[in-house]
């Protein structure tokens, strides 16, 4: 368990830690000379049950609040230190507010210097502390009076901490997350090089692991690990440790940076947050207010962006966006503190809702409402319900700094999930609603186009789900079409069992036209000729032929001439045969006319149809077979590149 001190300057925080652990946390010459803490100090205390307490001793002076914030970011228990002679002081209040904003509610009040005050004064200080806790919204917290010089109360405090440590639950985000280590101190150790000290917030780190400095993006291998001054092979979330990275220049990393798994190294310069303004603030926090953001151990200038240019009143909270002066590593749920532009006063705090907000406003609001104040699983369920276009699971994994497979395990069993480049998940209800819209759109299409087999997926996508990625929409339809009462045939979607040829009048007309087209062979009749032979009105013949072409049951040669698909296949083979007859693979319309035995005009119409279908390629007055369309013909045609055009008969 990590324990942090908090309280006003010269209230005995460092002396208290020394009395508890026997370790000196002031390490700077200036600290020892002036008798005040400037930087964060560290110590540890072994308990009788084998557990180890890590202590973070923070500076109390108002000028060093920034250093204090870097130390209390990831603690599990706080010791609010109040001197019996002074009582509650300004930094007592500010430190307590900071603990509250970081949602650190588990703590102990330690009244120090009791050898300098009588029982009445100690009782008075206890009452002051109770009043302060109540005004700050804290529940009652145990208070222990101690005297470091005499040792009075130190044993009781140790016992209290041991009881708390025994009840401590594992860190909230230990399981299934990439390692994230917040750096609060960097130094060079003789014989080892650069050493980073801090707290592992999530995951595990082992010797030999590859970690990346964020936001710098510099990668290094873990050479050594230390916990409580002893070498170890492994550290887990919630533990303080020192990490020695091989080949890392100490100038390339600083306090406030992070060490993360390379796949978790995502940085951002705007984050969606929930902010609460302290009750004592004299003015509301307005849109575009400049401020200082403290997240992890970093201190970053930023501006507050509020929807519709509003304001957050003192004692109130709201969703907002922070625009940062420089990128930072952040994840959903990370705690943060905001101070004024001069970094002299704590204004409020909160937590990260979405470190990678979408640009589209409507989607951003839906994401905020879904993620706000929820854990991973609950947030994912809310996103599935709130986002009609689905939840990109790589984004969800990224905002929680967890591997994608771990994120997919959070989905409800059987939830629709696309097999696309970016796996996208849907709720059963959202998929069902999309299916209803799809079925309605397909039914409308059939009513308007009874001759067509179905609606193109691309057209349906634009009609009912334009905000969704096209590949995501197509894959979801493929997976769910049967359950929606639909059939996907190629790229077209139709109602299950729909038969575009079910029109009795069309069936009768086609039964007259089809045999004529089959018997005609290459002498393909025009629509007018078919009308004369069948006594069907010309316009009805034209309409029917166009409908059959849309269904793939006929091929348009010209707007007035249609052939059966098998006839066109044979004509394509005849084109290959014509090409093989030529030494260079080139042939004219006259050459083709002679092979198929039609008139020149019809031969040209057929060749132009084959050009459109990609069978042949026209080069001036001659044609060649497109490479790969017929292996034998391609080989006979010579080189793959178009040959030099010679003087041949005109078409």
3-class SS letters over 366-392: HHHHHHCCCCHHHHHHHHHHHCCCCEE
For 525, the 3-state DSSP assignment is coil
Classify domain 267-357 by CATH number: 2.40.30.10
In this structure, are residues 217 and 253 in contact, taking their beta carbons and an 8 Å threshold?
Answer: no
Q: Which residue has the higher pLDDT, 59 or 427?
A: 427
Q: At the topology level of CATH, where does 504-563 sit? A: Arc Repressor Mutant, subunit A (1.10.10)
Looking at residue 302, its pLDDT comes to 98
pTM for the structure as a whole = 0.73
Tens of pLDDT, residue by residue over 21-61, are 998 875 544 434 434 343 467 888 999 888 899 888 876 44
The structural domains of the chain, with segments of one domain joined by +, span: 2-167, 180-264, 267-357, 504-563, 566-636
Looking at residue 69, its pLDDT comes to 65
Tens of pLDDT, residue by residue over 616-632, are 999 989 999 986 555 33
Tens of pLDDT, residue by residue over 470-502, are 999 999 999 999 999 999 998 999 988 777 666
Tens of pLDDT, residue by residue over 500-532, are 666 677 888 999 999 999 999 999 999 999 999
Looking at residue 175, its pLDDT comes to 54
- Specify which residues 354 forms β-bridges with: 272
Same topology between domain 504-563 and domain 566-636: yes
Of the pLDDT bands very low, low, confident and very high (cuts 50, 70, 90), residue 453 is: confident
Residue appearing with tokens 């904003």: 101
Q: Is 2-167 CATH 1.10.620.20?
A: no
How much is the average pLDDT of 116-126?
A: 96
Q: Going edge to edge, which strands form the sheet with 586-587? A: 586-587, 622-625, 616-619
Q: Which residue has the higher pLDDT, 639 or 586?
A: 586
Percent of the chain with pLDDT over 70: 89
Q: Which CATH class is domain 180-264?
A: mainly beta
In this structure, are residues 52 and 45 in contact, taking their beta carbons and an 8 Å threshold?
Answer: yes
Among residues 572, 569, 615, 561, which one has the least CA distance to residue 595?
572
The C-alpha atoms of residue 618 and residue 621 are separated, in whole angstroms, by 7
Q: At the topology level of CATH, where does 566-636 sit? A: Arc Repressor Mutant, subunit A (1.10.10)
Looking at residue 614, its pLDDT comes to 86
Two tokens, residue 615: 């069978």
Tens of pLDDT, residue by residue over 294-313, are 999 899 999 999 988 789 99
Max Cα distance, the chain (Å): 123
* Beta-carbon count within 10 A of 378 CB: 13
């Amino acid at each position: 368990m990590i324990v942090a001190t908090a309280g006003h300057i010269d209230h005995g925080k460092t002396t208290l830690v020394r009395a508890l652990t026997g370790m000196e946390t002031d390490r700077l010459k200036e600290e020892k000379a002036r008798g005040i803490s400037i930087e964060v100090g560290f110590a540890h205390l072994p308990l009788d049950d084998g557990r180890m307490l890590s202590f973070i001793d923070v500076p109390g002076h108002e000028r060093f609040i920034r250093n204090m914030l870097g130390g209390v970011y990831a603690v599990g228990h706080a010791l609010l230190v109040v001197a019996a002679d002074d009582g509650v002081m300004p930094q007592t209040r500010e430190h307590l507010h900071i603990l509250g904003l970081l949602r650190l509610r588990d703590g102990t009040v330690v009244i120090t210097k009791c050898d300098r005050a009588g029982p009445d004064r100690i009782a008075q200080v206890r009452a002051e502390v109770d009043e302060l806790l109540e005004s700050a919204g804290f529940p009652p917290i145990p208070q222990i009076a101690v005297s470091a010089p005499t040792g009075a109360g130190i044993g009781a405090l140790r016992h209290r901490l041991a009881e708390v440590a025994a009840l401590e639950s594992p860190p909230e985000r230990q399981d299934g997350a990439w390692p994230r280590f917040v750096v609060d101190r960097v130094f060079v150790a003789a014989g080892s090089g650069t050493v980073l000290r801090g707290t592992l917030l999530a995951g595990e780190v082992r010797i030999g692991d590859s970690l990346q400095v964020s936001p710098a993006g510099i990668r290094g291998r873990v050479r050594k690990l230390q916990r409580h001054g002893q070498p170890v092979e492994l550290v887990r979330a919630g533990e303080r440790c020192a990490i020695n990275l091989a080949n890392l220049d100490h100038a390339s990393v600083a306090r406030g940076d992070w060490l993360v798994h390379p796949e978790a190294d995502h940085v951002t310069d705007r984050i969606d947050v929930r902010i609460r303004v302290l009750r004592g603030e004299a003015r509301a926090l307005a849109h575009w207010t400049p401020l200082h953001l403290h997240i992890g151990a970093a201190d970053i200038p930023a501006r507050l962006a509020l929807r519709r240019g509003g304001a957050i009143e003192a004692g109130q909270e709201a969703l907002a966006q922070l625009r940062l002066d420089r990128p930072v590593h952040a994840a959903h749920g990370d705690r943060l503190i905001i101070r004024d532009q001069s970094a002299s006063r704590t204004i409020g705090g909160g937590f990260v809702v979405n470190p990678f907000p979408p640009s589209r406003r409507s989607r951003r609001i839906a994401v905020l409402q879904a993620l706000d104040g929820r854990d991973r699983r609950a947030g994912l369920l809310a996103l599935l319900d709130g986002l009609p276009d689905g939840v990109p699971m790589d984004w969800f994994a990224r905002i929680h700094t967890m591997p994608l497979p771990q994120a997919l395990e959070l989905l409800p069993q059987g939830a629709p999930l696309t097999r696309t480049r970016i796996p996208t998940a849907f709720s059963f209800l959202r998929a069902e609603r999309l299916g209803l819209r799809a079925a309605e759109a397909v039914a409308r299409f059939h009513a308007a186009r009874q001759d067509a087999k179905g609606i193109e997926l691309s057209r349906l996508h634009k009609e009912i789900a334009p905000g969704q990625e096209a590949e995501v929409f197509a894959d979801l339809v493929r997976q769910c079409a049967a359950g929606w009462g639909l059939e996907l045939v190629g790229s077209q979607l139709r109602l299950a069992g729909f038969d575009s040829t079910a029109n009795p009048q069309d069936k009768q007309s086609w039964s007259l036209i089809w045999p004529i087209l089959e018997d005609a062979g290459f002498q393909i009749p025009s629509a007018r000729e078919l009308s004369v032979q069948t006594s069907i009105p010309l316009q009805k013949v034209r309409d029917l032929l166009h409908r059959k072409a849309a269904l793939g049951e006929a091929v348009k040669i010209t707007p007035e001439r249609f052939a059966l698909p098998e006839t066109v296949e044979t004509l394509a083979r005849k084109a290959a045969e014509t090409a093989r007859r030529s030494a260079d693979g080139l042939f004219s319309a006259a050459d083709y006319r002679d092979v198929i035995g039609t008139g020149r005009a019809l031969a040209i119409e057929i060749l132009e149809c084959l050009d459109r279908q990609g069978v042949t390629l026209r080069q001036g007055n001659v044609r060649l077979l497109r490479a790969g369309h017929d292996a034998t013909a391609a080989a006979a045609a010579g080189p793959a590149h178009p040959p030099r055009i010679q003087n041949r008969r005109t078409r």
